[in-house]
A and B are shown apart, each in its own frame.
Chain A
Amino acid sequence: MKAGATARRPFWRRVLWNLVWPRRRERTQPTVSGLVLMGLAFGIGTAAYNSASNILFIALALLLSCLILSGVLAWLNLRGVDWALEISPPLRAGQEAGVGLRLDNRKAFLPTYALWFDFAARPVPLGEPPRPESTLTAKGIDVWAALRRSEEPEASGTVHMRSRLEPGGHAMLEWAFTPARRGLMRVDLVGVGSLFPFGFLRKFAGAGLRREVPVWPAPVEYRRLAGASPRRAEGDLRRARAGHEGEMIALRQYEPGDSHRLIHWKASARSRELLIRQFSAHNSEACTMVLSPDAEVWTRPEQFELLVSFAATLAQDLFRAGRLKATAIGGARPLPVRRAADVDSFLDRLAVVMPQPPADGPAGEADRPARAGQNVLTFEPEGARGVGAYANGHRIAAT
């Protein structure tokens, strides 16, 4: 992403146009030092015109040229600097997350000093957009308040570049924030500011960088009920599936999230790429997790949130134990879970799941495992606040 994405106008037209119509969030404000300088310039100018003293005219010219130089240096300082947001999921509700900002100074000659970056994170509204309402009868102050509320971020912060960015150099800054709830989070690099060089002017440049990232549900504590476990399938108890136990059945490429203990070092050295061992699991207790966001069942929003968090926590625990075979949300077809990325995908979906009205007509694909005699993990409300997990109708865990 380029600093100040440029319109394709000629340079001077661009400069003149920017003077008439500055870009959004791009502004220059005088600081206290700047106001003092302007006051001094005004006073000295008045005295110069009153007395026709060229000494005062010299002082005035110096002050004005310092102000001009300050603007030129501030412009040079920001020029040629590229910035890019680097956010590496997972972001998890209630847990601190880092937003990376990669800086590159493309200038061949001049370093860049003393920038700061304003970040903001706000949740993306899920579900259907609200219906538009007429503002004809609303008071102006109420409309402004509503607009201000809609602009208010959930989290915001400023990160300073503490040392200079050498010509041709790069740097990495990080902004840490804690998302409050699951959902889709929009992280904005709101602006780039600088007091460089003399602190006379506070210069802001609109960055226009934005990333939307899913925020997974917060982990919850739950009780695993003693003696409760999914039943074994009848007949042949051994099923070959990816897991951590049994014989090694294949090698595959490493993917982020894979355990380092599963790396096949010898094969990796031979092929010059990281390879992961895949085993045939002896486990016949693997189950398919089916989450039903039925709005009639989950009438209380906080209980629904607990359900989602519980499902996310349980899914990760089961995957670590090698007992998660597939996942499904609502009436959708179960998706197999073979590697960490499949669990991540499930959590991504959980991040944005909302209560849905019950589907009319025949049952969807979600009950196919049950029909096939496989273990199915479902959830039901427990009282007004709790959530229970059921494997084939047997309660195995609860919050």
Chain B
Amino acid sequence: MDTGSQRLSLDELSLLRWLLGGVLMLLSISAVFYMDVGGGVMAALAAAGVIAALVRPDWPARVPALVHRLAFPAIVAFFIGDIWVTGQPLPAIVRLDLLLILYRGASYRARRDDLQVVVIGLFLIVVSGVLTVSILFAAQIMAFTACALALLMVVTIATAAEGGAAPKLAVRGVVPHWAARVDWRGLMRRLAEASDWRLIASGAALFLGVVASSALLFLAIPRFQLENSLFLERFVVRRAMSGFNDSIKFGDITEITDDDSVAFNADISDPGQAPADPYWRMVVLDAYSNGGFRMSPRTRYGYGLVGQRTGANIYPPPPAPGGPSWTIFMESGVSRYLPLLGPFRVLRFREAQNYHYSPDLEVISLVEEPASMTAYRVEGMPADGAPIPDRAFAASYARHGRLALMDTTLAGVSQGDRRVLARIAAGIGDARVLGARAFAGKAIAALRRDHQYSQEPRYPPGPGDPLVRWMDSRDQGHCELFAGSLVLMARAAGLPARVVTGFRGGTWNAYSGNYMIRNSDAHAWTEIWDEHAQAWLREDPLGSAVDGLAGSEKGDAALAALMDRSWSARLASLRVFWYRRIVNFDQQDQAQTLSAVKAAGDNSGRWLRSVLLELGSRARGWATGPWNAGKIGRLLGALAAAAVLFHVLALGRWRLPALGGRRGTDPVRREAGRWLRRVEGPEALVLDLQRIRYGPAPTWPRPADVFRRARRAASSRPRRGAPSRNTS
């Protein structure tokens, strides 16, 4: 068999196998960092171990045999202990996988061990993808697939190179030959020598083929959901990462605004109705005490936020009159409360969820904190900021007054502070005369007259309630202080009021065409009960003071002001594409895609038919027209070109030139040719170079040695024009 020196030797293949296995393990470990399963430290240790073994492949031979003997019992014991202590199977399995990876990374592997590494790595990446639903999963699985396929291919080739025997496991304590002296740079050079552009192009084409066929399979795999019986997320205990909870202290929202990452993306079905300044309601807080609002148990029980419901669709009892449809992709860790603009007709989850829902409160909270992106579609949800009707509160308020369904009292405020509040409220006017909206307008004007908006609030020192002290001062403050102050002022004036937290505004991603709401858009505002309208009025003490937006604009005019064309928007558009087209892909989308493909096929067929008919009629006209020498020449030229094309394509008589060189010449031969032009002796060297340049490859001396001799000969030769030693 022709075995030119450009082929990789068995040692080089073994080293390549080691490298690919190490990279595969590092990719798998990297997936653990995105999972919130408490395996960060172990992942870092495993990564360090694998990197150390990659850098020094001779180290595993120095691990005492006792360690190898005890490794598996110890790993199994650790796993059992882990489950027993934590009671969480999935994190325990992830940690078990990390230990196995560490062990495999720090010991020489046989073929079945490589397979184990691939399986463990795939498990980690898939689990990470399912838990996070991050676009990073796409990159990770692609890199992992490429690496795993390359590793398996190298194992197959190495097996063939060993005459069919699987790569041998090194004897413990003995450094294998390939690991004794590792030269990664040399391996890369040899890889470059051994692979020509055709091979690389074929590999790239095949990998693209895998991606394309995967995409087609993904689109074509029939979707029918059996039951939602497997939720991987259930095996993990999650914790909220944001401050959107059912109790906030002043400053919580401001902390969230320090985070500039995307909280959620929102698609709107009709961009013509896109508002300039949407308010995304999440949590309603009523009870106030000592500088903080929380959702009172009265509200929680009274509005039915205790009873758990399960399902994929939510239909409010009185459906909203109508409005555009919104698809919201909420990132993990934002909150278990879902952002909503107000009343809606129907809300659909991607899959069945356990949730709490109060139609009167217009609040939906998931039972579990979502660890991955949560997608839901809300149909018929207008974004006009209309008052939110609350029949339950209206009935209760009519019967019980201030001790209604919701805690709208000043129970958490001392008598002294109540007097201060009464004084401030009296300065605004009589709420019963003014009405809720007018009172709110005057109160807001007073607040904005006395206080500046600032992310760094100042509280005047002294005894009593901090919020009342701030209201009675002229210090600057953030949205929570403004909203809380308005609530207390309204309550002091006899109007039920509450704080609502959520997000306000956002930007319009010019690339993906959707709202992009960042954590920095977190906001708090006030809702005041309007007895006449039997609804809650949204009153934002900061109004357009934050960014000067006019809240009434809609459509293109509104979006023009929100347009974001930054690089981060470009990256976010990729994420939205991932959510829209991949994560959110369902049976309906599949049917739509197939219809679109069919329609595109029909259109293409029609277009092709019309083009062919047009060409045919032109050809007919050309043929029936007058003939002359030029026309005959053109015809002959076209026939000749067609013949050449047929010769080139159909008969396969084509050879593409090698990159950067002459047609099909071996790079080693070319190198020998270059040295032949440069050196003139000694004769043995010239003969060796000629043999490499022109002779059959099996008879070659080792080219690297010959080229080294040639280099030495060339450097010792006197330079052209330089005087020789013998001349004086």
Contacts and interface: CB of A to CB of B under 8 A. Distances in A.
B202 A109 contact: yes
A64 interface: yes
A108 to B, nearest CB: 6
Interface in B1-36: 1-3, 7
A57 B133 CA distance: 12
Contact of B160 (A52, A55, A69, A113): A113
Interface string B386-417: 00000000000000000000000000000000
A220 interface: no
Q: Looking at B137, B161, B198, B214, which has the most chain A CB atoms within 10 Å of its CB? A: B214
B1 A55 contact: no
A52 B130 CA distance: 11
B582 A199 contact: no
Contacts, number: 157
Contacts of B214: 58, 61-62, 64-65
Given A36-B119, A61-B214, A52 B582 contact: no
B221 A69 contact: no
B198 A116 contact: no
Interface in B175-223: 198-199, 202, 206, 209-210, 213-215, 217-218, 221, 223
B41 interface: no
A30 interface: no
Given A33-B152, A68-B213, A69-B210, A50 B218 contact: no
Interface string A199-228: 110000000000000000000000000000
A162 B160 CA distance: 5
Contact of B206 (A40, A62, A73, A115): A73
A163 B115 contact: no
Interface in B213-248: 213-215, 217-218, 221, 223-232
B149 interface: yes
Contacts of A200: 152
B42 interface: no
Given A49-B225, A110-B202, A65 B2 contact: no
Contacts of B138: 58
* Chain B interface main SS type: helix
A171 B218 contact: no
Contacts of A162: 1, 3, 160-163
A54 B351 contact: no
Given A55-B130, A114-B157, A167-B198, A69 B209 contact: yes
A55 B7 contact: no
A242 B112 CA distance: 66
A199 B164 CA distance: 12
A312 to B, nearest CB: 35
Contacts of A161: 1, 160
A391 interface: no
B218 A61 contact: yes
Contact of A62 (B130, B141, B586): B141
Interface stretch (A190-198, A258-266, A363-371): A190-198
> Which of B145, B149, B230, B654 has the most chain A CB atoms inside 10 A of its CB?
B230
A32 B116 CA distance: 11
Contacts of A344: none
Contacts of A47: 230, 232
B218 A58 contact: yes
Interface in A146-163: 158, 160-163
Contact of A198 (B1, B156, B160, B350): B156
Contact of A171 (B2, B141, B199, B210): B2
Given A58-B214, A108-B654, A52 B228 contact: yes
A199 B210 contact: no
B159 interface: yes
A51 interface: yes
Contact of A44 (B7, B126, B137, B209): B126
A160 B206 contact: no
Contact of A166 (B2, B145, B223): B2
B652 interface: yes
Given A50-B226, A169-B2, A55 B161 contact: no
Contact of A109 (B119, B164, B198): B198
B224 to A, nearest CB: 7
Contacts of A252: none
Given A113-B157, A162-B163, A163-B3, A54 B231 contact: no
Given A54-B584, A57-B221, A66 B149 contact: yes
B1 A173 contact: yes
A59 B164 contact: no
A196 B351 CA distance: 41
Interface size class of A (residues with CB under 8 A): 35 or more
B171 to A, nearest CB: 23
Nearest to A193: B164
Given A36-B115, A44-B126, A197 B156 contact: yes
A60 B221 contact: yes
Contact of A55 (B126, B145, B149, B351): B126
Contacts of A68: 213
A337 to B, nearest CB: 39
Interface in B649-680: 652, 654-655
A261 B365 CA distance: 102
Q: Choose among B160, B221, B224, B585 the residue with the greatest number of A CB atoms under 10 Å from its CB.
A: B160
A73 B206 CA distance: 9
Contact of B155 (A64, A166, A171, A199): A199
A288 B218 CA distance: 82
Interface in B119-168: 119, 122, 126, 129-130, 133, 137-138, 141, 145, 149, 152-153, 155-157, 159-164
B147 to A, nearest CB: 12
Contacts of B130: 51, 53, 55-56
A331 interface: no
B24 to A, nearest CB: 14
Nearest to A116: B164
Nearest to B128: A55
A386 interface: no
Contacts of A44: 126
Contacts of A164: 7, 157
Interface string A369-385: 00000000000000000
Given A55-B137, A109-B198, A111-B199, A66 B145 contact: yes
A172 B1 contact: yes
B557 to A, nearest CB: 36
B572 interface: no
B583 interface: yes
A114 B157 CA distance: 6
Contacts of B213: 65, 68-69
Given A110-B202, A111-B199, A58 B153 contact: no
Contact of A64 (B217, B224, B586): B217
Contacts of B215: 61
A110 B122 contact: no
Contact of A40 (B119, B228, B652): B119
Interface of A: 32-33, 36, 40, 44, 47, 49-62, 64-66, 68-69, 72-73, 108-111, 113-116, 158, 160-167, 169-173, 195-200
10 contacts: A50-B227, A52-B350, A55-B133, A58-B137, A65-B217, A108-B655, A158-B164, A162-B162, A170-B2, A199-B159
Given A61-B217, A61-B221, A62-B141, 12 more contacts: A49-B226, A54-B218, A56-B126, A57-B218, A58-B138, A60-B217, A60-B221, A62-B145, A65-B217, A108-B652, A113-B157, A114-B160
9 smallest CB-CB distances across A and B, nearest first, come from A114-B160, A61-B217, A65-B213, A198-B152, A50-B230, A55-B129, A171-B1, A61-B218, A65-B214
Interface of B: 1-3, 7, 111-112, 115, 119, 122, 126, 129-130, 133, 137-138, 141, 145, 149, 152-153, 155-157, 159-164, 198-199, 202, 206, 209-210, 213-215, 217-218, 221, 223-232, 350-351, 582-586, 652, 654-655
